[in-house]
Amino acid sequence: MKLKFSKMHGLGNDFMVIDGVRQTVSLSPEHIRELGDRHFGIGFDQLLLVEPAHQPENDFCYRIYNNDGSEVQQCGNGARCFVKFVIEQQLTAKRAIRVETARGVIVPEMDLTGRIVVNMGIPRFTPQEIPFLADTAALAYPIMLSGKPYQIAALSMGNPHAVLRVEDLATAEVATLGPVLESHPSFPERVNAGFMQVIKRNEIALRVYERGAGETLACGTGACAAVVAGIRQGWLDHEVLVHARGGDLTIRWQGEGHAVMMSGPAVTVFTGEIEIGKAS
């Protein structure tokens, strides 16, 4: 099976994007793992599959897979790359696009400068919706990591996030605490682990250890989760510049009951065609 694809990134969070509208695509988890291998395949943090919409009022459906073959519900940097892809590939002439995801419908939009704004939906804090094993919702939860006590915020941005505030991001133990937090038994579906340093009330630095992918150069939903957690705890204003290792995002949130708005760039690196075997 030959597949045409684009290699893209949003602030270094990189994707293989496949058009499932104009070509037939059938991918097993093993196929995805092979394609995601940076030595023998294309290499990516996530694979994005563009499909026809299931409902006539929507424009597309898209599915998101980590490079370990697991499927996830939401990806902010991926949503921006998705918009750029369908416009570049002339799958649509629209700039505001209704897209079905496993989380629900999102409506990202490309402005005239090429910057993409995504409505990331309303964050969820109820433990059962994250999911997170706790009796009641709270601004912060105590948790033990590698035998030491920490405080985390837990929430869902369509995928589960735990946010831990650190004093100095450069020396934060992301490589050791990230996988411990990702697989902590309090998160039955694992969790994206965010490490946030507050610089000013409208500026943070962030590193994210993503479930199923490891630490990435940027995580859109992780940026949203960190800003929401910071606003709820009184550390941040309602519009925040987020410095990820791959670049900057702007996140806006007006508080409880409001959707999170994310804006940032998306870049096409190259396009190509690859033949994959009959793995299953």
pLDDT tens-digit series, residues 250-273: 999 999 999 999 999 999 999 999
- Class of domain 2-117+266-275 as given by CATH: alpha beta
Instruction: Judge whether 220 and 78 are in contact, CB under 8 Å.
Output: yes
Asked, colleague to colleague, whether 2-117+266-275 and 127-258 share their fold, the answer is: yes
Q: What crossing angle do the helices spanning 220-232 and 76-88 adopt, rounded to 10°?
A: 140
- The CA radius of gyration of the chain, in Å to the nearest whole number, is 18
pTM of the model: 0.82
pLDDT tens-digit series, residues 80-122: 999 999 999 999 999 999 999 987 888 899 988 888 999 988 9
For the chain, strand residue ranges (E) read 2-10, 13-19, 46-52, 60-66, 71-72, 99-100, 105-106, 109-110, 116-119, 141-145, 148-156, 160-165, 192-200, 203-210, 214-216, 239-244, 247-252, 261-264, 267-275
Q: Is 159 annotated as a binding residue?
A: yes
Q: Is 216 annotated as a binding residue?
A: no
Catalytic residue IDs: 75, 219
Q: Is 66 annotated as a binding residue?
A: yes
Q: Which CATH number fits domain 127-258: 3.30.300.20, 3.10.310.10, 3.40.50.12280, 3.90.550.10?
A: 3.10.310.10
